[in-house]
């Protein structure tokens, strides 16, 4: 909810999730950039500009890649209209009138790999920022703490997220029951199998990841990733 003239600076949504936004009343202006275009909106230090319409972008010494920007979309959203934002699309939004909107973010089998890639990229950025402290005891754990504060989730929490979804899907197959969502919406067997296949792909790369192996948090968990992968593969024989 925001008054006329208020705005949201350039950003991508939490966890690089999908999102939708519906205007209950008012009008919005959206400026959207496909994945990869945000690199042209970073300064020479890799920092994303706050305002994608700022005149300082014309300064080639500060923003050397701005001239390479080749794709963006501008949309006016009216009352009662909905907009869908795909994963990884950076956007900036202005309220052209007093506006109330309802927004929702979500992750599913179609973008879970994008979320995992974003989590890795954010950890890499954290490590770069604090690499001068690399010799300190528990450096990897401290990086995970910073990652959780910056991204909203660390590796252990991401694994808990994967196992929760995976076990819910597996339970539905074991019991031969559909998963009920909001109202009367259901996840059918093919949808459940698709989610599990995508989740397995992420789990395999997750447990092989160098940063995951350095944390070694699996030993204290009941849900071991290899066992979960084995249970998923049972339904694809």
Say whether pLDDT at 203 is over 90: yes
Question: According to the model, what pLDDT value does residue 126 have?
Answer: 94
3-state secondary structure 12-58: CCHHHCEEEEEEEECCEEEEEECCCHHHHHECCCCCECCCCCCHHHH
Q: For the residues 13-41, what does the mean pLDDT come to? A: 96
- Numbers of helices and strands, H then E, in the chain: 6, 9
Question: According to the model, what pLDDT value does residue 184 have?
Answer: 81
Question: According to the model, what pLDDT value does residue 182 have?
Answer: 79
Q: CA torsion angle for 134, 136, 140, 145 (degrees, to 10)?
A: -110
Question: According to the model, what pLDDT value does residue 225 have?
Answer: 87
Say whether pLDDT at 209 is over 80: yes
Measured CA distances, 31 to 46, 48, 89, 160, 194 (Å): 21, 15, 10, 35, 33
Q: How confident is the model at residue 217 (pLDDT cuts 50, 70, 90)?
A: confident
Q: How confident is the model at residue 213 (pLDDT cuts 50, 70, 90)?
A: confident
Q: How confident is the model at residue 183 (pLDDT cuts 50, 70, 90)?
A: confident
Domain extent listing, the chain: 6-106, 111-234
How much is the pTM? 0.88
Model confidence over 135-159: pLDDT tens digits?
999 999 999 999 999 999 999 999 9
CA distance 83 to 96: 16
Asked if 196 contacts 189 with a C-beta cutoff of 8 angstroms, the reply is: no
Q: How confident is the model at residue 194 (pLDDT cuts 50, 70, 90)?
A: very high
Three-state SS at 75: strand
Q: How confident is the model at residue 51 (pLDDT cuts 50, 70, 90)?
A: very high
| Beta pairing partners, 74 | 31
Alpha carbon of residue 46 to chain centroid = 19
Of residues 105, 154, 121, the one with CA closest to residue 35: 121
CATH class of 6-106: mainly beta
Strand 100-106's sheet: what is its strand order?
82-85, 18-25, 100-106
Residue 155 structure tokens: 């590796």
Measured CA distances, 82 to 22, 101, 137, 215 (Å): 4, 9, 49, 42
| Beta pairing partners, 11 | 91
Q: How confident is the model at residue 164 (pLDDT cuts 50, 70, 90)?
A: very high
Say whether pLDDT at 103 is over 80: yes
Average pLDDT, the chain: 93
Q: How confident is the model at residue 171 (pLDDT cuts 50, 70, 90)?
A: very high
């Amino acid at each position: 909810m925001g008054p006329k003239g208020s705005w949201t600076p350039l950003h991508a949504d939490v966890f690089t999730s999908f999102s939708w936004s519906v205007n209950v009343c008012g009008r919005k202006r959206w400026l959207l950039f496909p994945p990869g275009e945000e690199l042209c909106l970073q300064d020479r230090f890799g920092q994303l500009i706050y305002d994608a319409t700022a005149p300082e972008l014309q300064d080639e010494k500060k923003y050397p890649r701005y001239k390479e920007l080749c794709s963006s979309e501008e949309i006016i959203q009216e009352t009662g209209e909905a907009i869908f934002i795909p994963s990884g699309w950076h956007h900036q939004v202005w309220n052209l009138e007093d506006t109330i909107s309802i927004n929702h973010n979500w992750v599913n089998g179609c973008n879970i790999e994008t979320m995992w890639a974003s989590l890795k990229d954010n950890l890499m950025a954290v490590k770069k920022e604090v690499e001068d402290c690399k010799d300190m005891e528990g450096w990897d754990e401290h990086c995970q703490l910073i990652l959780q504060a910056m991204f909203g989730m660390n590796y252990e929490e991401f694994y808990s997220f994967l196992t929760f979804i995976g076990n819910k899907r597996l339970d539905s197959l074991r019991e031969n029951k559909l998963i009920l969502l909001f109202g009367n919406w259901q996840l059918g067997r093919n949808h459940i199998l698709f989610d599990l296949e995508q989740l397995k792909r992420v789990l395999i790369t997750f447990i092989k990841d160098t940063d995951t192996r350095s944390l070694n948090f699996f030993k204290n968990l009941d849900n071991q990733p290899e066992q979960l992968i084995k249970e998923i593969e049972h339904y694809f024989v």
